[in-house]
Structures are given as C-alpha cells and as structure tokens.
Amino acid sequence: ATSYVTAYPAGVARPLASNLNTVRGVDLANSAVVGLGAGGHVLYNNAGSVLLLEDIQGYFAPGPLD
C-alpha cells in the first residue's frame, strides 16, 4: 500500500511530517537526521508492510556549554 514512514525520538509524540513517502513495488532511499530519546528512536509505518534497513552513521556530541 502507499504509505509513509516517520522517524522520531522515543518518548515524544509522533510529528505530523513524514521522513519517507512509499509507493508499492518501488525501492526508495532516504536520509534523515533523527534525535534520540531515552529509549532510542521510533520508525513508524502508516499502512501496509515495509522492509526498512537502517544504517546509523554518527552522532552529535554535546557541546562544551551543554
């Protein structure tokens, strides 16, 4: 089914914006910067079934004033 995927920090309300809009039978690539909550993060699929592959490439360390 046509759907969308939203990535967001765990422990907060799901945002209204999507990170990826899917189409049946089409492979898609995407990149997003997602914050981490106390429990990591959430990948939410709105409808149907999707196969998600996640690759974590880095993180932002707290600055000296944080």
Higher pLDDT among residues 38 and 5, named by residue: 5
Rounded mean pLDDT, 35-45: 90
Higher pLDDT among residues 56 and 3, named by residue: 3
What is the total count of domains within the chain?
1
Question: Is 18 among the domain residues?
Answer: yes
Question: Is 1 among the domain residues?
Answer: yes
Looking at residue 61, what is its pLDDT? 80
Q: Residue 66: is its pLDDT beyond 70?
A: no
Q: Domain range for residue 5?
A: 1-53
3-state secondary structure of 62: coil
Query: Got the DSSP string for 7-61?
Result: EEETTSPPPSS-SEEE-TT-----------BTTBEEEEE-SS-----------PP
3-state secondary structure of 25: coil
Mean pLDDT, the chain, integer: 89
Structure tokens at 5: 């995927």
Question: Is 65 among the domain residues?
Answer: no
What phi, psi does 8 have (nearest 5°)? Answer: -160, 160
**Structure pTM?**
0.80
